[in-house]
Amino acid sequence: MLPTKLFAALTSPHHRRALGRAITLVESSRPEDLAPAAELIALAERYTPPRPTFRLGISGTPGVGKSTFIEAYGQELVRRGHRLAVLAIDPTSSLSGGSILGDKTRMELLTRLPEVYIRPSPNAGELGGVGPASRAVVLLCEAAGYDYVIVETVGVGQSEWQVHSMTDAFLLLAQPASGDELQGIKRGILELADHLVVNKADSLPKEARLAAAELRRSLHLAPARPDGWTVEVATASALTGTGVGKVADRMQRYREQQHDHILQRRGEQRVLWLREQLQRELLRRLTGYLEATGLNNDQLRLRLDEHITIPATADVILADFQQNSNP
């Protein structure tokens, strides 16, 4: 199907299959799909969704209950009249190259709701935890009429920085713990969070309160945010639903109070997306040049022997690449 027809189907009622096909196209790495995928993304960029949208990144340490929390939170959003898309970034198998696709099976109740679309997407080995097409997938979901988009990360680490750079707000889940686990959160990603939630307060209420208090103390040591927003720490139970509604209320207040900041943030994210696209395209062209000129590992080893040092060898190869790229 042509990108224009696919996009028209995507934005019409009963579009779930078209949305799936569109996402598959922009996630494809096949050379013949690059041009139609770019056309589809351009259409999504120019399109104004029927309702204002909100993008929420959610992450937390392994075992914190992200999928259970998203299922409870998603049901709360549907009750409030939202149409929800969940982009669950799955790690890519190093053996098959496919996505593990675990999150969709864990959100069984959420998958049954017609107002919800869940898309497990491979991260394609990206160090940042999100896939190279994740930003485009968010746009496609919004064009399809989903006004609330949740991006769930693979795990804790560089992925939080990536998801923070493609969403309007970032919610960090913590579990009742102490010592090294909370210290790890403080060192790495605490400053990125717009709201923190200590999950599993039903089974470990005392530990949850202690963890929340420790996180609050850590927040008091952080410098004031330039946007004036005060980050809070709450306790909740995704299993029983206790506290989940209050988290939704808090995110709604953030959306209302930080409207101008969100618009500015999205503008900065478009520039970052452009930089990422330039880097990926340059890498794609360089890889194609190396293959076309027969510069395999053996040839690269000969070049290295000839020019002695890695910087000198790289300079020669890049100079040849630039010359052949601009005849």
User: Which residue type is seen at 123?
Assistant: N
Residue 101: per-residue pLDDT: 45
Strand residues in the chain grouped as ranges (E): 54-60, 84-90, 116-122, 148-152, 169-174, 195-198, 233-235
**CA 286 – CA 308 distance, rounded (Å):** 22
86 forms beta bridges with 118, 150
Q: Are 243 and 173 in contact (CB under 8 A)?
A: no
pLDDT (tens place) for every residue of the chain, 327 residues total: 789 999 999 998 767 899 999 999 998 888 899 899 999 999 999 999 989 999 999 988 778 888 899 999 999 999 999 999 999 876 543 333 444 444 555 788 899 999 999 988 665 544 444 566 889 999 999 999 999 999 988 655 556 778 888 999 999 998 887 555 565 565 557 788 899 999 999 888 888 999 899 888 888 877 778 888 999 999 999 999 999 999 999 999 999 999 999 999 999 999 999 998 898 889 989 998 898 888 888 888 888 888 888 998 999 889 989 888 765
DSSP string, 15-80: -HHHHHHHHHHHH---HHHHHHHHHHHHHHHH---SS--EEEEEEE-TTS-HHHHHHHHHHHHHHT
**CA 28 – CA 26 distance, rounded (Å):** 5
148 forms beta bridges with 54, 84
Residue 98: per-residue pLDDT: 43
